């Protein structure tokens, strides 16, 4: 019998899906150059529909509690067991700001108010665009929840750099520490 964790990963592809069939007619898709100087696109062999694979938007927050940065240990792949700031995918029809607040609550049980945009991160081989806000806690009690197995407050000098989950985690934490904690 499949575990809840296995079932989650069977049904949630976290932005990494390779499509085989046309959403218009059901024909087979193939990669081909549509315009010179652009990447190959998925094109239907039957109806010539061009299936553009848009990036997934991720929203996250970085904030402090008692002078330390809140990080969560991931309980799911990718990067199982690695540390991240609270964040996750933006749902269709949801604002990026609302997603950042929702994901923070779901993963850490903390209510936050967004302060400012820290930065937007994207990388050539990743389908994700990560939008990170600075925030302040306005309620709740820190607790690992949803896709997290541990929640911890790290003094800025004790951030577990080798155990951070993603390039965006490292880059955003560096930006936050430089702009908000070093004076």
State the first-to-last Cα distance of the chain, in angstroms, to the nearest integer: 54
Query: pTM for the complete prediction?
Result: 0.83
Q: Mean pLDDT throughout 133-137?
A: 98
Mean pLDDT of the chain: 91
Give me the pLDDT at residue 182, please.
77
Pick 115 or 53 by higher pLDDT. 115
What pLDDT band is residue 76 in, cutting at 50, 70 and 90? Answer: very high
pLDDT tier, 183 (very low <50, low <70, confident <90, very high otherwise):
low
Which of the following is catalytic: 7, 94, 143, 150?
150
Residue matched to tokens 């592809």 = 13
Domains defined for the chain, CATH in brackets: 17-51 (2.20.70), 56-181 (3.90.79.10)
Rounded to whole angstroms, the Cα distance separating 151 from 107 reads 9
- Of the pLDDT bands very low, low, confident and very high (cuts 50, 70, 90), residue 16 is low
Q: Which residue has the higher pLDDT, 9 or 87?
A: 87
pLDDT for the residue numbered 125: 86
* 38 is an active site residue: no
Closest CA to 44 of 22, 67, 19: 22
């Amino acid at each position: 019998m499949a575990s809840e964790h296995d079932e989650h990963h069977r049904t949630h592809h976290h932005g990494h899906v390779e499509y085989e069939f046309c959403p218009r007619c059901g024909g087979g898709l193939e990669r081909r150059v549509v315009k010179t100087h652009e990447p190959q696109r998925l094109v239907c062999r039957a109806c010539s529909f061009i299936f553009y694979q848009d990036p997934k938007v991720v929203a996250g927050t970085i904030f402090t509690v008692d002078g330390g940065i809140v990080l969560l240990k991931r309980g799911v792949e990718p990067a199982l067991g690695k540390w991240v700031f609270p964040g996750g995918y933006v749902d269709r029809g949801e604002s990026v700001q609302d997603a950042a607040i929702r994901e923070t609550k779901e993963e850490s049980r903390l209510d936050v108010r967004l302060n400012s945009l820290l930065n937007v991160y994207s990388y050539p081989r990743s389908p994700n665009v990560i939008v990170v806000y600075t925030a302040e806690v306005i309620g709740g009690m820190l607790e690992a929840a949803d896709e997290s197995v541990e929640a911890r407050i790290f003094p800025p000098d004790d951030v577990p750099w080798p155990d951070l989950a993603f390039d965006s985690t490292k880059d955003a934490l560096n930006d936050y520490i430089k702009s908000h904690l070093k004076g």
